[in-house]
Each structure stands twice: as C-alpha cells, then as structure tokens.
Amino acid sequence: MEKTFAIIKPDAVERNITGKIIDRIEAAGFRICGIKKLFLAKAEAEGFYYVHKERPFFNDLCTFMSRSPVVVMVLEQENAIVKWRELMGATNPANAEAGTIRKEFGVSIEENTVHGSDSPESAAFEIPYFFSQLELV
C-alpha cells in the first residue's frame, strides 16, 4: 500500500464542500490514515511550498493557502499517488476531465480546491511536514 498527501484548500473549505470531497475520496477506495483541519501561517505555507520559491506565483500561493483553514490528509491505497492525481484532475479546472474533483469544484487555476503529492519524494516530504507517525492510523 502506498501513501500520499492531500490538502483540501481554503477555497473549498470556505465553500463548505469539504465533506463532498471526502466522500469522493472514500468512494474512490482511499483509506484516510490521518486528517486535520488547521490554519497555516504564511511562514508554514512558505516552508511547505519552498520548491516553488523562485516561481512568480509563490507569494500569491502562500497568501492564498494561509487566508483560511485547510484540511490536510494522508491517503492510502495501491498506487495512491497516481490515483489521487487522477481523481484531482488537471491543475487548471478548465482543462480537467469530467468527473474529477477540480473539474467539479475548482474555481480557477489558483483556487483549484485540492493539492496532492506528485511523486514518492514529495509525499516523503509533505506527509511528515504535517503528521507524526503516531498520528497515522
């Protein structure tokens, strides 16, 4: 079984669609190993997204991610990273396939509802950024 990291972003939490997204996650066969609702300080968002620090959207992304609460999760199933990315859909909701979370709930490329690890290496960084081993069941 593989684990991946997921975030339900501020735009989705603000619109009270967290439960709908979690329903989609569970219906797709994922097991939620850890889940928390929290408010990221801008410095925490900057640390999490440090790989993008040289990109022009970095400041806007960190400001967005720290504007209101997020829900962070660790998801598990066979090929979890690839399957979660497929369920999320393309980064730009306008380009996402029908039936994906971003197509159904995404507002824009900036407010695209969810985040997911894109590789085993990013999952290995992202999961312990928010969860200790004791919190994963």
Residues marked as catalytic: 115
Phi/psi at 66 (nearest 5 deg)?
Answer: -110, 10
- Placement of tokens 């990013």 in the chain: 122
